[in-house]
Amino acid sequence: MNLKMIKTIKEKIEEECTESTKIIDWFYDTHLLEVEKQANFLLKNLPKADKEVVMLGVWLHDLQRIRGLKGDHQEIGAREAEKVLKEHGYNSDVIKKVKSIILTHSCSNNKPETLEGKILATADAMSHYYNNFFLKIALTGERDINGYKKWVLEKLDRNYYKKIFFNFAKKKIKPRHDLYKKVFSLN
Ligand SMILES: [Fe+2]
């Protein structure tokens, strides 16, 4: 695994996030760095996974959002990731694998089938339980309070039941999940 190249890509994404007017200014710190942290936690427990593919997926999976491009989040994200990976000299095998995990990370149309795909989807879901993610979303004021509560409750269940693929990860998140559910179910 080329650690130096992954660091270069991470720095490029941080720069894009800083300059982007399409995302909230906390996106890099609150979301992407947390996905990295959770992916590392998962990788420690799943040593057979291809770490390089997972880490490239971590940094490139939300490019559609970061670049504010119209169209399907996963498909456009995979297309943009391919461009970045080609620019940085990655071979077609790595590009194919990274694209495939980006294409399933939301678990909306297709579920991930590979270990690396499951790790990315799980890390993405786990990240939402940290750094006051839901509070920060509330503060954007995009939804009225009832719409917001409904959105959070739906997202919590989607995260917990559809995106977290490993029992040990579920166990780690369960106390936070239960607490969030309780708080957002209050009238
Ligand atoms: Fe994400």
Q: Average pLDDT in the 37-49 region? A: 98
- Strand, helix or coil at 11? helix
CA distance 73 to 47: 29
CA of 83 to the centre of ligand 1 (A): 19
**Residue 5 in this model has a pLDDT that exceeds 80:** yes
Nearest to 62 by CA among 72, 70, 73, 52: 73
Q: Distance, CA 4 to ligand 1 centroid (Å)?
A: 23
CB 21 within 8 A of CB 68: yes
Q: Give distance in angstroms: CA of 131 to centre of ligand 1.
A: 14
What domains, with CATH codes, occur in the chain? Answer: 3-185 (1.10.3210.10)
Q: What is the pLDDT of residues 18-31, one digit of tens each?
A: 998 887 888 999 99
Q: Which amino acid is at 91?
A: N
What residues flank ion ligand 1 with Cβ within 5 A?
A: 62, 124
For residue 183, how far is its CA from the centre of ligand 1 (angstroms)? 24
Residue 57, C-beta contacts closer than 8 angstroms, at least 6 positions apart: 81, 98, 101, 102, 105, 116, 120
Instruction: Examine the pLDDT at 32 and tell me if it is beyond 80.
Output: yes
pLDDT computed for residue 137 by the predictor: 86
Average pLDDT in the chain = 95
Residue written as token pair 């991930």: 112
Q: Does position 166 have pLDDT exceeding 80, yes or no?
A: yes
**What average pLDDT does this structure show over 124-139?**
93
> How much of the chain, in percent, has pLDDT values that exceed 70?
100
CA of 124 to the centre of ligand 1 (A): 5
**Which range is least confidently modeled, 33-42, 77-86, 107-116?**
107-116
- pLDDT for 20 equals 85
Q: 129 C-alpha vs ligand 1 centroid, how far in Å?
A: 13
Helices 167-185 and 115-127, axial angle in degrees (round to 10) = 30
On the question of pLDDT at 112 being above 90, the answer is: yes
**Centre of ligand 1 from the C-alpha of residue 65, in Å:** 9
The rounded Å distance from CA 9 to ligand 1 centre is 16
C-beta separation of 180 from 152 below 8 A: yes
How confident is the model over 60-111, as pLDDT tens digits?
Answer: 999 999 999 999 999 999 999 999 999 999 999 999 999 999 999 999 989 9
Query: Quick one: tokens of 54?
Result: 């997972």
Q: What is residue 139's predicted lDDT score, i.e. its pLDDT?
A: 85
